[in-house]
Amino acid sequence: MTVLERWTRRHRDGYPTVTLLAWAALVLHDPIEQAVFGHDHEPLGLLSGPGVMESIGTTHGHGIVGVGHYLGMWGLMIVAMIYPTSTAVFQWYADRHGRGTPTEAISDVTTFAATYTLLWVAVGVVPLAVNVVVPISSLATSGGPLYFGVAFLAVATVQFSPTKRRCPTPVTLFGDREYLDTVTAVRSGWEFGRQDSGSCGAWMGLMVVVGSMNIGWMLLITAAMSMERTTARGQRWADRFGVLSAAVGLGLVGTWFL
């Protein structure tokens, strides 16, 4: 067995460990967060409400430190929620990698995964920007059922869209090609992240709407994405979740107008 084969096997088996560490960090981060930022805002806890995490990044005078803290926590959330659905793609890339030396191959596979992750972290700037314009907590308070209902209807719309049906897979991303340099690793990671954010972006948007880093919702949405992405009947699950989201959304919107 070559060095690359041994490394990719460990790397494949290591993704669950990385994911579990991310979950642990999210659950246990409150003491550290309070030590850094003090008690001038609502603790996140396990059931954070809408806009609580975003307020840390945009208010309370934390500046660039607050933004960095938010993006770091967003990155942990991405690893915890998205990595379980992406392991097959990472492993496919490693298995198909054709570069010469083990060191070069390991570097390029790591670059691929890092580029994918960094693109997802960059997506976290969007809720921060929204929170600057209109505080998310204010939207949730003033909008009530309508706020949540529109979010579920948006998820339902995406679930039945062509974007969702083009959910990236190893075959559609890479085919039978081999990847031979770092530049290609960056491009491949970017392409995977771009397609993946389009496919799963609505779920992550819902995560922001109901409360970023809310552990309960994280578990539910992670389970839904995993069933869509890692099971033989993934598209059927996507359609079922679309119907369920539409029903919940219509029910909430109806409650608002009654």
Neighbouring residues of 154: CB distance < 8 A, sequence distance ≥ 6: 202, 205, 206, 249
Q: What span, in angstroms and rounded, lies between the C-alpha atoms of 163 and 179?
A: 26
Question: How many domains does the chain divide into?
Answer: 1
The boundaries of the domain holding residue 103 are 3-257
pLDDT of residue 245: 95
Provide the pLDDT for residue 147: 93
pLDDT of residue 127: 92
220: left (phi over 0), alpha (psi -120 to 50) or beta: alpha
Length of the chain: 258
Whole-angstrom distance, CA of residue 222 vs CA of residue 3:
33
The pLDDT tens digits along the chain (258 residues) read 444 445 445 544 456 677 788 877 777 766 655 655 554 545 455 567 888 888 877 765 567 877 888 888 899 889 889 888 887 787 777 776 655 566 666 777 788 889 999 999 999 999 999 988 888 988 998 888 999 999 999 999 999 988 777 666 665 666 655 556 778 888 888 888 888 888 888 999 999 999 888 888 999 999 999 888 888 788 899 999 999 999 999 999 998 877
- The answer to whether the CB of 121 falls within 8 A of the CB of 45 is no
pTM for this entry: 0.81
C-alpha to C-alpha distances, 155 to 58, 105, 239, 244, nearest whole angstrom: 26, 38, 11, 10
SS (H, E, C) 9-30: HHHHHHHHHHHHHHHHHHHHCH
pLDDT for residue 248:
95
pLDDT for 146 equals 93
How far is 91 from 176, CA to CA, in rounded Å?
A: 14
Report yes or no: 54 and 207 within 8 Å, Cβ to Cβ.
no
Amino acid in the structure at residue 52: V
User: Token pair of 34, please?
Assistant: 């309070």
Residue type, 187: R
Distances (CA, A) of 256 to 42, 143, 250: 28, 9, 10
Q: Exposed (0-12), middle (13-18) or buried (19+): which is 179, by Cβ within 10 Å?
A: buried
d(CA 215, CA 83): 16
